[in-house]
Structure 1
Amino acid sequence: MTIAPAPRTAGVPARRTPADLIRAEAPVLAHNYHPLPVVIARAEGVWVEDIEGRRYLDMLAGYSALNFGHRHPALIEAAHRQLDQLTLTSRAFHHDRLADFAARLAELTGLDMVLPMNTGAEAVESGVKVARKWAYDVKGVPPGEATIVVAAGNFHGRTTTIISFSDDDTARTGFGPFTPGFRVVPYNDLPALEAAIDATTAAVLIEPIQGEAGVLIPDDGYLTGVRDLTRRSNCLLIADEIQSGLGRTGRTLAVDHESVVPDVLLLGKALGGGIVPVSAVVARRDVMSVLGPGQHGSTFGGNPLSAAVGSAVIDLLATGEFQSRAAELGKVLHSGLAALTDKGVTGFRTRGLWAGVDIDPSLGTGRAICERLLQEGVLVKDTHGSTIRLAPPLTITREELERALTALERALRAPSS
C-alpha cells in the first residue's frame, strides 16, 4: 500500500506530536473510551498511518465496521457520486435511492421488509420495539406484559434499555433505574432458554456469536435449537448480526452456518462501509407490518448517502468474494493461533476472519498485549481480562495476516513491563 505523504505548507507550524494531541483531548472529550496511544491520520485498505508517518496493520477493522477495509474504492466512489446529488431529505419525503437499497438488502438476507436506522444500538432498540408491538398486536400478549429473553454475556449496545439486560457492571453501574421486561439465561444453554419462554415472550434476542464476550461460538446445533424453540413457542427470533454479519464469519450472516433464518435481523457496522453509520432492522413482512406512521422514526435513517453506500456494500457482498476470502483466510488465522497455544495463548476461538484469543495472564493483561502489538505495528483491541480480539478487514492478504500473527508471537515473548 502506498499512502501519499501529507502536504507541507510554507509558514504553517509543524503538527503537534501524538502525545500533544492525546493530552489535548483530556479536558474537552468525555472519558468514555480508553484508546491505545496512537493518533491515526490516514488510512487505505488494511493499513493506517499515524500523524508522524508510522504505519500499522489494522487487525480490528472498527469492530467489523471496516469489513471492506479503509476507503474501499467502490464505496468511496458511491459516496462521492451521491454527495454531488443529494445527502438528506428526512423520511418526510421519498428519495430515489431508498427503495432499491431496501429491496436489495431484503433479498440479500432472505427477508421481506427493512427499517433503516443509523447505529447498531438504534437497530437493537428498534428491534425490541417491533417485537413488543408484534407481541401485543399479533400474539395477543396483554398490554405491558411482553418479555424478551436474552443471553448472559451479551453485548447489544449501551443505551439505557440495552444495559438493562446486560451483565457488564462497567456499563450498568450508576445508570439505573433500568427498563423491565427482559429475562437473562445462560448463552449456549437450550434447556435454560426453553424454561424462560412462556406465553408473555415476544422474542428471543441473541448474538449468533458473542463478540464483545471474546468471540464465543455456541455448540453446533444451538442456533437451530433456538430457531425450533421460538417457532414452537410462537415467539420471534431476533438475531443481532451487527458485528458478526456481512461476511465476517465466512458467510453473509453467522446464522447461515446453520441455515437458520431469523424472524428479525439486526445489521449495522459493515453496512456503512466504514464511511457513514448505517444500520437496519430486516424482518418478515407480517412482523414489520405492525409499525404504523409516527410509531417509530429517525431523521437520518435511510438517508440518500447511507442508501447509496449501503447499496454499494451489497454489491460487494453479492459476488460472494468477501465471504470466500473470510472462510479461506480464516483457516490461516486458525492455524496460526493453534501454533501459538504453547507460546502464551491459552485458548482461542475463530469463525472466518474473527478470533477471540486468551492470553496467559502471567504474560500481561489484554491491554498490555495490545500495547506491545502497537509497538510491533499491529492494532488490535482487548476485551475482558487477558482476551484480545482479531477482526481484520476482509481485504487482508495471506502475507499481511501472517505478518500480524508473527507480530503476536513476538509480543507474547516480550518481557512484561
Structure 2
Amino acid sequence: MSGMLARYERLVASEELRPDPDQRRAAERLDRLQKDLEAETSGGLLSQLFGGRKTRPQGVYMWGGVGRGKSMLMDLFVETLGISEKRRVHFHAFMLEVDGLIREERAKESGDPIAPVAKRIAADVRCLAFDEMVVNNTADAAIMSRLFTALIRDEGVTVVTTSNRPPADLYKDGLNRSLFLPFIALVEAELDVVPLDGPTDYRLDRLGGIDTWHTPLGDAATAQVREAFFRLTDYNPEDAANVPSADLDLAGGRTLHVPKSLKGVAVFSFKRLCGENRGAADYLAIARAYHTVIVVGIPVMGPDRRNEAIRFTKLVDALYELRVKLFATADAESEGLYPAGDGSFEFARTVSRLEEMQSEAYMALGHGS
C-alpha cells in the first residue's frame, strides 16, 4: 500500500486534483503521522523504547471552509494507513455511541463512567479519525474534555479530525461554554492544528451544475436536492436510510431535531422550520451550525399563511446574513411564493435575496463571511 503523500501526488499528476499548497502541506503532515503510527505498530523505535506500551504520535486537527478537500484528504489518510487498529467515524455518530456506552456504564453503578468508556473505545483502536467535528449541544460539550483527555492521554489514542472551524471557535456562543473550554485547550495542546482555509471551494465543482431551486414539488425536484446532499457530504446513496440526524441546541433548554445532519449540511421540511412557532434566534442558530441547508416542501403562501411567510422571511434573512447555501424544493419560483397578503410588498426583499442566493457569486462565498 503506497503512503498518503505518494497517493496524493499521483492524483495531482493525473489532474484528478488541482495543485493546492494548503492541501499539500496537510498531505505531508498526514504522511508523517502515518509513518509514526506504522513504525510504532510494526515494532519500530517507539515500541522498542517503551516496551510495547501504547505511545501516542501527535494527532492532527484539519480545519477549513466548505469544499477545501478535508474529507478527501481524510479518505486518503485512512485508506493508505498501514495498520489494522484504525477507525473512521462521523463525529455525530461517535457521540451518539458514547452516550449509549455511558448509559451502560452508569447502569453498572461502578462510579465515573468516562474512564471505562474510553477504555472500551480504545480497546482495538490506535488511530481514531473523525469527519466533521462540530458541537451543537450542551450534553456533548460537557463531557468532551474528560472523554478525550482519557482517550488521548490515558489510552494513547491518536486522534485525527476535520472541522469547518478552528478549535477556538468550536461551540462558539454555546450554552455553558465554560465547560467546553478545557477541550479546546486539550486540542491545541495535543493535536497539530492544520488550516485549509484558502479561497477555493472545490466542492462546488462536484455539484456538476445542479441548480439550487427546484419547482414544482414532486419526485423530480426531490431527486435533485437528494443528489446535491450526497455530493456535498460524500455519503453513499445506497445507505440513505442511515444518514445521521442531530438535535441542535437552541439555548434556553430547547432543541431542534434535524432529520438529516452531515458534514455541515442539514435537511428540513418547510413545515418543521416555518409551520411551527419560531423566531429569528432559532434561524440564526441553524445558520451558524450549517454551511448548507436543504428545505423541502415550500408551498405557495396566501393570506391565510401570513405567519409562515413571516417566518420564512426570517429564515432567509438568517441564511443570507451568514452566507449559508440554500437548496430547496418549492411549489413556485421565489417571486410566486407569497403573491398576496399582509406583508407581501415587504416579501419582495426576500425574493431578491433568494434570487441572489442562487447566483454563482453567492455560492462562492465562504460560510459566515
Same fold per superposition (TM over 0.5): no
The two structures have a TM-score, normalised by structure 2, of 0.35
Higher helix share: 2
The two structures have a TM-score, normalised by structure 1, of 0.31
* Higher RCO (CA < 8 A, seq sep 6+): 1
